[in-house]
Structure 1
Amino acid sequence: MSDKRVKTISWGIVGCGTVCEVKSGPAFYNCSNSSLIAAMRRDEAKAKDYAKRHSVEKVYTSARELIDDESVDAVYVATPPGGDRIGIAKMVADTKKHVCYMEKPLGRDVNEAKEIVSILQKANVPLYVAYYRRCMPKFVAVKKALDQKKIGNITGVSVTLHQSRHLQKDKSHWHYDKEISGGGLFMDVGCHMLDLVDFFVGPIENATGRAFLSVKDQIVEDNVRGMWEHTCPVDGRRFGGSCVFNFTSGGPRRDEIEITGTLGSVVVSCFDTKPAQLKLDSGNEVVALDAKHPYTVQQPMIQLLIQDILSKTGCGINAGLDLDPDEFLCNGEAAVRTSEVLDKLLGRAKWTDDYMIT
């Protein structure tokens, strides 16, 4: 990272698609000490339309041109995993930007994720990955409850996600293109839940799993089941975890991470606004961990990221976020861990032109 001191980070977005409309894009001009000055999309008309609606000054159709713009301090990479993330990382590294913020999952497999991390580390460009739920108030409340041992010593973790196959009727969407997504909805949304497990209770170890294609109207797996282990960093205790992801469910939606301890459990949904619940005294006492759901869901993480970067350039700010960036932000190392777990649960190890092979 350059030694140049800045008081406001000027952002450029590479790939200003759907995720940039509400989830992320507005955060770059609504956060303190931040501005969004450039947007890139290969479709010039769509890029100009985005820029007009979000008051973005500069429009590009080439990632290289945006990244070469010296007025752009930091780059948000919002392309799909198969959108040449490695090439974009090399461009960011060449120009020594203040920061690279990249969408999740970091790559189509762990090898791509590791290469992206290595490229940016060698150039001393900080990398953050958009596992943004870590900083959303609901999940912050769960993390604090666990750290305060509200449920005692953790003894197990289970992850369940059942989604109706009828929710996504367009099977031509890039989520279902294995060369772009790396592995369907499991890669796109399952990664969020697995990152939260890592965030809440520590790294997932010795993961193993199986993936299945149970409905023949797509070419990527729609069912994933797996198990793993954790090690308590305090006393070395071991406990287990498991997951069931079913994207062809015809039944009711299920969305929960349940963490069980010696004094109770905490249950939190990943993809809705329902409050998390502490269940104590064998479930006889239930405490809601209510928290406000931000409209722009990535804004808390982006604000903490900006706060962290500016503090390292000697222009620290206080944006009112009392969160430790080393704990709540997702760096490249943590993102690589999640990519490795995704690969192992899918039973895959390496990306090739013929998809992934073990």
Structure 2
Amino acid sequence: MAESHFHFSEEKPLRWGVIGCGGVAEKKSVPAYQNTPGFRVDMVMRRNADKAEDYAKRHNVPQWTTNAEEVIFNPEVDAVYIATPPDSHKKYALLVAETGKPCCVEKPMAPNYQDSLAIHQAFEAKGLPLFVAYYRRSLPRFLKVREWLDDGLIGEIRHIHWEKSKPPNDLDLRGSYNWRTDKQIAPGGYFDDLASHGLDLFTFLLGDITEASGIAKNQQGLYSAFDAVSGIWQHKGGVTGEGFWNFGTHQRVDKVDIYGSAGKISFSVLDEAPIQLENVSGHQILEIPHPEHIQKYHVANIKNHLLGKSIHPSTGKSGLHTSWVMDRILGTL
């Protein structure tokens, strides 16, 4: 890795620019940046001028634009958060790397492993910090699950199983456009948007995945992307895993079970649900709520990383690994 020329201290606020101020930026992410001491959001971009101006006014952001490059190359922007659909992540991230600025890219990192690799290599070459918004790695709920695993409360870990299924929504049934089901932007459909969170979390909990394969189909014909995916994998150390993600079932399910030699841990990746521990000591159920702005701890970890206090749990390297796993399951790599 090349030596980084980027330096951050708490003496001067870090000024962020945001590319894409749609739904995810409304509550989940940008307010978390604004509420983090030492961080400011000074500029936002959206292709629709009226919506960009409205967002900036409502969130007290001093500058707005419809041109992403005005954010990236603005000398008064120190770091860039890319919150656009994944097909544009590579284009914008490579430009950010060119400017020598730190960057956070929304998940999934890119539509495929090769684009993710290009992003990772660009930041590695310049020694620049690159983060991916897999914020579940920073949430107290899942840190507790990891603590239970690390403490051996279910013995030797054997297997993980995830079911994520739901009925088609109104957009799907009407045939309305949705980038999440456009195979040019998200080849795996909702798998790309939703399963990426879980697969990334599982590597955080159980270690990197060494083997993965799967089957991907379009069963309903409602849109161009896949709507039914099944996968199997193995983590370093031998823990096996399996999952299925089907977006045409009769009910909504989001349930993970981690089986050990002496117990089981259960939780949801995406839904609001308690975490549960079953072992010889009994059955423990914990409610650990998420913060109002769900990227709060993720953004706090970005700050600590840039200050040299800790290593962020979700970097370009880990995001790249998740892209590899997803492509293996989809059969595109």
Q: Same fold (TM over 0.5)?
A: yes
The runs of 5 or more residues in structure 2 that have no matched partner are none
CA distance in 1, matches of 2:26, 2:315: 24
Distance verdict in 2 for CA 1:3–1:229, change over 3 Å: closer
Which whole-Å CA distance do the structure 1 matches of 2:324 and 2:271 have between them?
26
* Counterpart amino acid of residue 303 in structure 1: A
Alignment pair present for 1:260 and 2:256: no
> Hey, what does 1:182 align to over in structure 2?
187
Residue 335 (structure 1) aligns with: 319
> Which residue pairs with 1:95 in the alignment?
99
**One-letter code of the match for 2:331?**
G
Q: CA RMSD in A?
A: 1.5
Cα deviation, 1:27-73, whole Å, max 9, x if unaligned, reads: 11111211111101111111111100000001121111111111211
Large movers: runs of 4+ above 2 Å: 1-6, 166-171
Task: Judge conservation of contact 1:93–1:123 (CA < 8 Å) in 2.
Answer: yes
1:303 aligns with 2:300: yes
Is contact 2:183-2:226 (8 Å) kept?
A: no
Shift of 1:9: 1.6
Q: Residue 179 of structure 1: SS of its match in structure 2? A: coil
The unaligned stretches of length 5 or more in structure 1 are: 233-237, 317-324, 350-358
Structure 2: how far apart are the matches of 1:3 and 1:62? Answer: 24
The question of 1:129 aligning with 2:128 is answered no
Displacement of 1:106 in angstroms is 0.7
Aligned residue pairs total 326
Residues 1:106 and 2:117 aligned together: no
Q: CA deviation at 1:166?
A: 3.0
Q: Does 1:288 align with 2:293?
A: no
1:272 maps to 2:271: yes
Structure 2 length normalisation: TM-score? 0.94
- 2:223 and 2:120 mapped to 1: Cα distance? 31
> In structure 2, how many angstroms separate the alpha carbons of the residues matched to 1:3 and 1:204?
32
* Aligned-partner Cα distance in 1 for 2:6–2:100: 10
Is the 8 Å Cα contact of residues 142 and 289 (structure 1) preserved in structure 2? no
**Are positions 1:116 and 2:119 aligned together?**
yes
Post-superposition Cα deviations, 1:290-314, rounded to whole Å, max 9, x if no partner, equal 31211111111011111210x23xx
The amino acid that maps onto 2:133 is: A
Residue 206 of structure 1, aligned match among 205, 211, 230: 211
Identity fraction in percent: 34
Q: 1:141 aligns with which of 141, 144, 168?
A: 144
Superposition pairs of residues 1-358 of structure 1, within 5 angstroms: 1-7=4-10, 8-83=13-88, 85-97=89-101, 99-166=102-169, 168-169=171-172, 171-232=176-237, 238-250=238-250, 252-281=251-280, 285-309=282-306, 311-312=307-308, 325-326=310-311, 329-349=313-333
